[in-house]
Copies of this chain bind each other. A is one copy, B any other.
Amino acid sequence: MSIIKIERRVLEKNDELAGQNRDLLSRHKIYSLNMVSSPGAGKTSLLERTLETFDGSLRVAVIEGDVQTDYDAQRVARYKVPVAQIVTHGGCHLEARLVRDALSEMELSNVELLIIENVGNLVCPANYDLGEDEKVVILSTTEGDDKPKKYPAMFRNASVLIINKMDLIPYVNCNPDTIKRNALDINPKLEILETSCTTSSGIAEWCEWLKGRVRMRRG
């Protein structure tokens, strides 16, 4: 069927461009992360806490992906890091081509860590390699503990799961142990961290994890 053939071609082309992005980032010894989640799970807040914690001690650059508006880029720019905003105008995920265009406008020689914040969508971004080293999936406790089973592709393709909004656990019907069990059923290799961007719990551990990844990449 022609639609499936075209879909396959789109993904092949995307993978080719993702490979080129990966080569470029690797040449600059940049460790890169693709942050994925539902809308409102806390990607931008986590990014803000992360940049606050590093406070310039790590050279970070950010690519913001949004369906509409540059609200997130504005929030991130307050932390004095280079930010490129991609507006997809309705598109439900970032693609390697868009990331390539953003990278072409960035001064990469000065970057150790690239964080790409994808469009808020727990389905579509799972299938699009951007050339990142790893995907981190952020799941908010308010979304419920059944989500890894209901949206398995994202949890299968991620290396790290951050369970965010841990401060809301007393008020919501969600057991973090059930999230973990469901997520590890889908992907037994998943590393799991717990954070709250409101109380800052877990943020130091997350930043340590990130620093470790950057150190490994710098050699």
- How would residues 49 to 82 of chain A score, 1 for a CB under 8 Å from any chain B CB and 0 otherwise? 0000000000000000011110100000000000
CA distance A68 to B149 in the complex (A): 7
CA distance A168 to B170 in the complex (A): 11
Contact for A151 among B6, B68, B124, CB less than 8 A: B68
- How would residues 151 to 171 of chain A score, 1 for a CB under 8 Å from any chain B CB and 0 otherwise? 111000000000001011001
Say which one of A25-33, A115-123, A204-212 lies at the interface with B.
A115-123
Which residues of B lie under 8 Å from residue A149 when comparing CB positions?
68-69, 71
The chain A residues found within 8 Å of chain B, CB to CB, are: 2-3, 6, 10, 38-40, 66-69, 71, 90, 92, 119-124, 140, 142-144, 146-147, 149-153, 165, 167-168, 171-173, 198
Q: Knowing that A68-B150, A119-B123 are A-B contacts, what are 9 other residue pairs whose CB atoms are under 8 Å apart, sorted by A's residue number? A: A3-B10, A38-B38, A39-B147, A90-B153, A120-B150, A123-B124, A142-B168, A168-B168, A168-B172
